[in-house]
Amino acid sequence: MTAYRTEIPPDAVAPTRHPDAPAPGFVLPTHYANCFGCGPGQPHGLHMRIVVGEGCDLTATFDVTEDHQGAPGLAHGGLLASALDEILGMLGHLTRMSCVTARLETDFRRPVPVGTRLYLTSRADAVAGRKLYASGQGHLDAPDGPVAVRARALFVQVGLEHFTENGRAAEIDAIGRDPSLITHIGDYTVNP
Ligand SMILES: CCCCCCCCCC(=O)SCCNC(=O)CCNC(=O)[C@H](O)C(C)(C)COP(=O)(O)OP(=O)(O)OC[C@H]1O[C@@H](n2cnc3c(N)ncnc32)[C@H](O)[C@@H]1OP(=O)(O)O
């Protein structure tokens, strides 16, 4: 069994914002209508609204509701990790790497009560071949509020066949019938 690590390797380079990446302030559309993190068609989802930053970075807000509880009146940690996974994965829009999460390390620093507005940030830190290293955090109730949760992640670039060969046929076929289920930005189609 491989002992995996998320340290940035010495051969990594600084990430490059693609020249055709969406402009700062652009609100990223959902990459897939039924995505748990950002899809409007997912009734139990997080419905995150993710905004492009000035560099290789993104911001989002996430309102913690009764639906997100783990302990009474407190957010479930796995759900907070999901929110970070989403805003980290969406960095692929800026580097134009269609990628999936290979590793996600999360530090839970403070409890997050129901009713909190979490201010999330993510940034691409380095690229090494197909590997994109990224980090992010969530602040309580203000962009500069106390850090409640932070994460480091490794994403691995994949081809479209990762989804078409592994996804359930019913959902893949549904996209064939209704291509609007996945979103294109300009001439670029992110992963479904
Ligand atoms: C713009 C897009 C917007 C999308 C937003 C969505 C946000 C949400 C994203 C997700 O949650 S994606 C769903 C959860 N993730 C998955 O289902 C991925 C499941 N895993 C896989 O499919 C494969 O393991 C994977 C594609 C990640 C890698 O398999 P490969 O056969 O293509 O590659 P390989 O195993 O050779 O690994 C490539 C490199 O990554 C390294 N690696 C892979 N997994 C690792 C790991 N877990 N930790 C550290 N390193 C890892 C591996 O060592 C290697 O390093 P080197 O190139 O230096 O040799």
Q: Do 160 and 51 form a contact (C-beta atoms < 8 A)?
A: no
Using the mean position of ligand 1's atoms as its centre, give its distance from the Cα of residue 6 in Å. 11
Percent of the chain surpassing pLDDT 70: 94
Average pLDDT over residues 161-190: 87
Instruction: Decide if pLDDT at 192 tops 60.
Output: no
Using the mean position of ligand 1's atoms as its centre, give its distance from the Cα of residue 165 in Å. 16
Kindly provide the residue ranges of all beta strands, DSSP E only, lying in 87-157, ordered along the sequence.
99-108, 117-128, 131-140, 147-157
Average pLDDT value for the chain: 93
pLDDT at res. 5? 67
**53-86 burial code (b ≥16 CB/10 A, e <16):** beebbbbbebebeeebeeeeeebeeebbbbbbbb
Structure confidence by residue, pLDDT tens digits, 11-25:
999 999 999 999 999
Average pLDDT over residues 76-94: 97
pLDDT at res. 4? 64
Q: Is the complex ipTM more than 0.85?
A: yes
Using the mean position of ligand 1's atoms as its centre, give its distance from the Cα of residue 177 in Å. 29
Q: Which residue ranges have their beta carbon within 6 Å of ligand 1?
A: 4-5, 31, 37, 85-86, 89-90, 92-93, 100-103, 129-131, 154, 156, 158, 190-191
DSSP secondary structure, 143-160, as one string? TTSPEEEEEEEEEEE--T
Ligand 1 atom 23: the closest Cα is on which residue?
Answer: 102
User: Domains of the chain, with CATH numbers?
Assistant: 27-179 (3.10.129.10)
Average pLDDT over residues 44-67: 96
Using the mean position of ligand 1's atoms as its centre, give its distance from the Cα of residue 162 in Å. 11
Which atom of ligand 1 is least distant from the CA of 99?
A: 2
Using the mean position of ligand 1's atoms as its centre, give its distance from the Cα of residue 66 in Å. 32
pLDDT at res. 51? 98
Which atom of ligand 1 is least distant from the CA of 9?
A: 58
Which atom of ligand 1 is least distant from the CA of 90?
A: 3
Q: Model-level pTM greater than 0.90?
A: yes
